[in-house]
Structure 1
C-alpha cells in the first residue's frame, strides 16, 4: 500500500518557554521540514508543502541502513552545516537541485544531515494517537543513527537550551508536551516554538547598486488584493560571495523599466526594478509602525512560488 503524504503537526509561536515536568525542549533546526514514507517497497522524501524530494537526497533512500521497520513514516528536518552551524542557504543549495549529475556531486560537496524527531506510522499501524513520550521510545528502538542521520535530543531544561541557542546565534527551540498526540495537519499549543527572530518568505522586486556593485535587495509581499508591497531591504546576509555573485547575475536578466512595487520604497536611490520571480527567506526582529522589516537578514534563496509570499503567511 503506497502511503499518502500528510501535512505535519506544527508548533505555535510563543514568547515564553513553557515550564514543568510535562514538557521537553528541542533545538529548532534551520532547515527543510521533511517526512520519510516507506511502504515496505519504496522510500520517498516529501517536504512540508507536499513536494517530493527523493531525488535530491539519494543517500537517505536505503531505509534498512538506518531504520528497523517494515513500513514507516518519519518526521524530521533536513539540514546542512556551514562552519558547524545549520545554514538555510546551504540546505537550499541541495534542495533546489534537479539534475541528477549535480545531485550526485552535491552529496559529498554539500552533505545533508537528517534530524529525526517523530514517527507517525510503524509496521502497518498509525501511532499518532500514542503520546510523544511513547513515540520517542519507539524511535530509540527502531532508528540506527549515523553521521548523516540523528535523533533530535530532548532536554528537560528548556531555559538552558535556549540560552545556548542565543549564544550560538541559532534559530531557537521547540517545546513539546510529553503527553501530546500527533495532530496531522494541526497546529496548537501542545507544541510551541520560541525563536530569536521572525522568519519570512519574500520576493525580490528590486536592487540597489553602489559603484556598479549590487549592495542590497528590495523585498516585497503580496497583500490581500494581490498588490505587490515593498517591505524593506537587505544586504547579502548569510550568502557567501559566490552565492551573492550568482544572485547578481540572475537579477541582471530580470530587470524591468517600471517600478514593480505598488508603493514607493524608502530606499530608491540607485534602485533598479526586477521582475518578482525570485523568492528568499529572511529573518527579522519585528515589524516597524510603517510596515517594513526591522533588521532583516537574508538567510538564503527559497524554492517557493512568489504568489505564496503574502502578508498573511504564517511562519
Structure 2
C-alpha cells in the first residue's frame, strides 16, 4: 500500500483551458484530503501531512463501509449547505465535523495497485466504480468534458462558487504543482482573500 507520495496540485491561471483534452470540475471550498484504507485501518491525511481521521468520522465510516479493502482516494473535505454549495466557514468552525463529507475527484491506488500512471479518465472510471451507489459521507465529483470550460466557469461565478479546476484527461497523477491541472478562481469569492 502506498504510504508516502505528494498530492498533485493545480497551477493557478487567469483563463480556463479550452479544447477536447480537458475535463472541468467545480472547485469546492474545503480542505484537501487523502483517504487511505488498508483492511480495517482508515487514515484521513491532509495536504500538510496531518492525520484527521478522528476529526471527520463520516468520511472514515464511509471508507470502512466500502466493499474494497484497499484504496487511496484524493478529494476535498467539505460541509455542504442546504443549497449544495460548500460552506468553508462552517467547515473551519469545527462545529460541523460530524457532517463533513468527501468530494472525491481522483483515485491513487486500488486493491494494492498503484494507479498513478494511468490516464486521468481511467482513474475516474475506477473511482466511479469504487464509489458506485454513492455511500453516505463520500461522493464522486461530477465533471464536464471538452470546450465547455469557460461557460462552466461563468456559471460557477454566477452561483457564487470558488471556481473550477481543469485537468488533462490523458495525463498521469504527478506529485507537486502540475501544469496538467489548472485552477481558475472566482475573483469575487471570499477564498481569494483568505489568510489561512
Alignment deviations for residues 97-138 of structure 1 (CA, whole Å, 9 cap, x no partner): 7xxxxx8xx52xxx2121000011111111100000100111
* Cα offset, 1:193, TM superposition: 0.5
Cross-structure match for 1:166? 157
CA distance in 2, matches of 1:148, 1:36: 12
Give the TM-score normalised by the residue count of structure 2. Answer: 0.88
Compute the RMSD of aligned alpha carbons: 2.2
Alignment deviations for residues 31-59 of structure 1 (CA, whole Å, 9 cap, x no partner): 00010011223000011111010001112
CA distance in 2, matches of 1:88, 1:23: 27
Cross-structure match for 1:22? 21
* Cα offset, 1:74, TM superposition: 0.4
Q: Match of 1:43, SS?
A: strand
CA distance in 1, matches of 2:188, 2:111: 38
CA distance in 1, matches of 2:51, 2:74: 14
Cross-structure match for 1:247? none
Higher helix content, 1 or 2: 2
* Cα offset, 1:198, TM superposition: 8.6
* Cα offset, 1:176, TM superposition: 0.4
Contact 1:7–1:49 under 8 Å retained in 2: no
CA distance in 1, matches of 2:32, 2:110: 20
Q: Match of 1:21, SS?
A: coil
Cross-structure match for 2:93? 93
Cross-structure match for 2:179? 189
CA distance in 2, matches of 1:198, 1:162: 13
Distance 1:198 1:181, change over 3 A: farther
CA distance in 2, matches of 1:68, 1:21: 34
* Cα offset, 1:83, TM superposition: 4.9
Contact 2:101–2:138 under 8 Å retained in 1: yes
CA distance in 1, matches of 2:188, 2:38: 37
Kindly tell me the number of residue pairs found equivalent between the two proteins. 191
CA distance in 2, matches of 1:34, 1:188: 18
Contact 2:59–2:100 under 8 Å retained in 1: no
Spell out structure 1 runs of 4+ moving beyond 3 A.
none
Contact 2:37–2:64 under 8 Å retained in 1: no
Distance 1:26 1:136, change over 3 A: same
Cross-structure match for 2:108? 120
Q: Match of 1:61, SS?
A: helix
Q: Match of 1:169, SS?
A: coil
Q: Match of 1:141, SS?
A: helix
Distance 1:148 1:59, change over 3 A: closer
CA distance in 1, matches of 2:170, 2:67: 25
Q: Would you say 1:39 and 2:38 are equivalent positions?
A: yes
* Cα offset, 1:20, TM superposition: 1.2
Contact 1:68–1:143 under 8 Å retained in 2: no
Q: Match of 1:59, SS?
A: helix
Q: Match of 2:80, SS?
A: strand
Distance 1:160 1:198, change over 3 A: closer
CA distance in 2, matches of 1:68, 1:173: 31
Give the TM-score normalised by the residue count of structure 1. Answer: 0.56
Please, which runs of 5 or more residues in structure 2 have no aligned partner?
none
